[in-house]
Every structure is written in structure tokens, then in C-alpha cells.
Amino acid sequence: MTVQVTVRFSGDDLAKFTKRLSQKLPVAAADAIQEYAVGLAEDLRVAAMTDPLRPITPDRRGASLLIRAKRLSRNRSVIMMPRGLSYLDSMRPHYVSLKRGRSVTDWVKRNYGGATVSGRSNVRMGPRGGIKGFLFVTPHRFVQPTLMRSRNKLSNNLRKGIRKAISSSVGGV
């Protein structure tokens, strides 16, 4: 048994197809970019929370929940995150002195459980119950590795958007 399929395009059908495709393709590409931005924001949220060297604190959990994708215009989407997370990603390793009255000293009282990243921190209890010493602070680089891991997702999303635009343009012919 043989099945024959004939596909024909007349000049009018081809003109209709190209007109529909030229209308739907930019919309599909913009939607694919927004979908990529939403996925990348989710990946950044997860990467900000998963650092094997540091404990998950309520401050970092709250900051990571604020990472989100926002569509600025039809063709432009951005990923918004708190400034503190971008500082955490890009800072140089340095020492912080734990003096009375500093907010970092209060943070160390709440969250520091003796976890050391490089063994350079010297945090100890003072004679009256306070904290003395210094803390060695290292960056938590999560933005660049996440961008490198998710770079293939954009091409996949664009491919899906283009296929969707073509199939919806052909459907009416």
C-alpha cells in the first residue's frame, strides 16, 4: 500500500504564510526571551541558596527570594536581584573586625556556628558574653557559573518559539 501526500503552495498561500509568520515571529521570540529570563532567575535563586561552604541563613534565603525576572518591554527582559547578592558575588576576600555595635557582629551572633571557609576566621566569646575577633569573608560566586550552565537554554527556548510561530502560521493555510 502506498500513500501519496502532495503539498502545494500557491502564490496567495505563500503570501499569507509569510505575512502571518512576520507578525508572529517577533512575538514568539519575545516570549521565548521572557521564558528564558524566568528560568534563569529560578536558577540564580537556587544557586544563591546552595553553597556547600556556608550555612543557609534567613537573610540569604530572604534575599534569594527577591530574585525575579521582569519584562521591561516587548523585546526586553531583565533579572532583578538585591544589591547585597551582587556584592556577595563580586567582592574580594577580606577580613572584617567584629567590634561592638556593628551589624556584622550581630549577624555573627545569630548565624555563625563556627563554620570556617578557609580557617582564617578568629571568632571567640568575650569576657562579658560578647563576640570578639575577626571574620574572614570570601565571595560566593553564583552568578557567572549559573549563566554558563544555562546558556544553552536560550537557544532551546528560541527554537521552541520559532517552531510555535511557524506551526501557527501554517495552520491557517
Is pLDDT larger for residue 90 or for residue 68?
68
pLDDT bin (cut points 50, 70, 90) of residue 91 is confident
| pLDDT of 116 | 57
| pLDDT of 173 | 47
- pLDDT tens track for 106-160: 888 877 766 555 567 777 777 777 778 888 887 888 888 888 888 878 788 888 8
CB neighbour list of residue 132: distance below 8 Å, 6 or more residues apart:
98, 123, 124, 125, 126
pLDDT of residue 42 exceeding 70, the answer is yes
| pLDDT of 114 | 61
| pLDDT of 140 | 80
| pLDDT of 121 | 73
User: 102, 108 in Cβ contact below 8 A?
Assistant: no
